[in-house]
Amino acid sequence: MIEDDRALIGKPIEIKDLEATSSDVLVRIHYLDGSTEFIRVLPEKPTFMLTHKSGFYNMASTYFILGVEHILEGFDHLLFVLVLLLLVGNLRILIGTITAFTVAHTITLMFASLDMIHLSSRAVEATIALSIVFVAAEVIYAMRGREHITKKCPWLIAFGFGLIHGLGFAEALKEIGLPQNEIVGSLIFFNVGVETGQLLFVSAVLLFAWVFKSLTEKYVYMYKMGLTYIIGITATFWFLERVVVIM
């Protein structure tokens, strides 16, 4: 503990050898006046300075940005959302499906982050990959005229697999860490960031689909089929890779 907690403010502090890794570091500084400052340090910029900018906004903005970045960098989660979009054609049903997915992964994210649920992270990651394979197969079946419960009740499948995806989000959040005095707040803003990133992705996909369909409508079926197979094959590879790691 430093008696004068302002002695380091404005002076460069470096995390040694961070640039040799691919991991971000979340630094929490506890000042003598009881306030806490959150600073995110990136591998490409391992030096940071204390500013004594603490409080609710500092915590909220830090965890919100972490949530947005986590979902946008989580390709397996994004591919699952993408195959849901490919499966559901009706906008009203799509909104209900995405909402079910959101509610489900919010539930398990919170329970797992608070250590109320404990599952193997490797098994969770493998199941997430399997969920993509499953829905991709259902998209192919639906395009060929064979509609199963996934096509008829996509919200049910989205909710079920959403519970698993929430455990994946929780693993990432555990690696980041939660401030003991602001667990609920940081958890909420991380989740809001995840939902914001998910909404941005869905909006971008729907906009692209609208433009693409208007330009090449007669080729939509062929491209949709091809994209679904690519997603399914990629997810199958991830699943096998993750199962091998578990074994």
Q: Which helix (H) or strand (E) holds 40?
A: strand 36-41
In a shared domain, residues 92 and 185: yes
The stretches in the chain having pLDDT less than 70 are: 1-8, 10, 22-23, 30, 32-35, 52-55, 180, 214-218, 245-247
pLDDT digits (tens, 9 = 90+) for 18-34: 777 766 777 777 676 66
In a shared domain, residues 22 and 82: no
Q: Is residue 3 part of a domain?
A: no
Please state, in angstroms and rounded to a whole number, the distance separating the CA atoms of residues 162 and 6: 45
Looking at the structure of the chain, the number of domains it has is 2
Closest-CA residue to 102 (of 195, 202, 192, 219): 195
In a shared domain, residues 111 and 208: yes
In a shared domain, residues 143 and 209: yes
In a shared domain, residues 208 and 181: yes
In a shared domain, residues 113 and 138: yes
Domain that holds residue 174: 70-246
SS3 50: strand
Closest-CA residue to 178 (of 168, 190, 167): 190
pLDDT of residue 114: 83
In a shared domain, residues 195 and 123: yes
pLDDT of residue 49: 72
pLDDT of residue 231: 96
Q: Is residue 226 part of a domain?
A: yes
pLDDT of residue 8: 65
pLDDT digits (tens, 9 = 90+) for 45-81: 778 777 766 667 778 888 898 889 889 888 999 999 9
Token digits of residue 190: 């991380």
Please state, in angstroms and rounded to a whole number, the distance separating the CA atoms of residues 67 and 197: 8
Please state, in angstroms and rounded to a whole number, the distance separating the CA atoms of residues 167 and 109: 6
Q: Is residue 177 part of a domain?
A: yes
CB 110 within 8 Å of CB 169: no
In a shared domain, residues 220 and 183: yes
Q: Say what the pTM is.
A: 0.81
In a shared domain, residues 223 and 124: yes
In a shared domain, residues 102 and 144: yes
